Amino acid sequence: MANDSSKARFERLRKVLFQYTPSDHPALRQVVCKDGTRFGFFHKGEFSKILVDAPCSSERHHLFQGKEKEWKEKRARFLAVKQYTLLCAALLCAAEGARLVYSTCSINPVENDGVVKKFLKKKGERLKWRPSQNLLEGEEETEFGKMILPDRSGFGPIYRACFEVISP
């Protein structure tokens, strides 16, 4: 199941899934448009694999669109709160033994390791942090995750951190 709270992104996601998944696998095409921060209340313990591709400050997008003056530290802090809330909602959705991956396209540590550190501090008794064993080309380790930066890979930034849910 894929979810996006933005109607426009929901429609694009739905279109891509219908275009690139086999028609004989309708389960691969389940897309919903719900508030991700409340998602866990309606799908408790249902999923064994969860990706939280969190909304972030997207610094690179600002630079490439010539909007670097629009970037604000206050927005990054606001987004970190939302990102943490989305992770908590995802944890509610997770079955025991589930794999949970948190991802952003931000280089800001407040939105990356900062969110993960808070998540582990508050929810750590239900989680096992899983440092990824394999680094991808151009990927670097951070305190709690992995980061791909554009200067080394030609794309990104991409941040990810992985967890295993040890109790629902």
Q: Give 81-100 pLDDT, tens digit per residue.
A: 999 999 999 999 999 999 99
Closest CA to 100 of 143, 38, 162, 37: 162
More confident residue, 58 or 20: 20
pTM: 0.86
SS3 55: coil
pLDDT in tens, 96-153: 999 999 999 998 999 999 999 999 999 999 998 877 666 777 788 999 999 988 877 7
Domains delineated in the chain: 1-33 (no CATH), 37-165 (3.40.50.150)
Q: Which residues are catalytic?
A: 105
Q: Does residue 78 surpass a pLDDT of 80?
A: yes
Characterize 103-123 residue by residue with b for buried, 16 or more Cβ atoms within 10 angstroms of its Cβ, and e for exposed.
bbbbbbbebbbbbbebbbeee
List the structure tokens of 15. Answer: 């279109």
pLDDT digits (tens, 9 = 90+) for 26-62: 766 788 999 999 999 999 999 999 999 998 887 655 4
Report residue 22 as tokens: 């086999």
pLDDT on residue 136: 74
Residue 18: phi and psi, rounded to 5, are: -70, -30
pLDDT of residue 65: 57
The confidence score (pLDDT) of residue 83 equals 96
Which of 3-7, 13-17, 28-32, 54-58 shows the lowest per-residue confidence on average (mean pLDDT)?
28-32
Residue 131 amino acid letter:
P
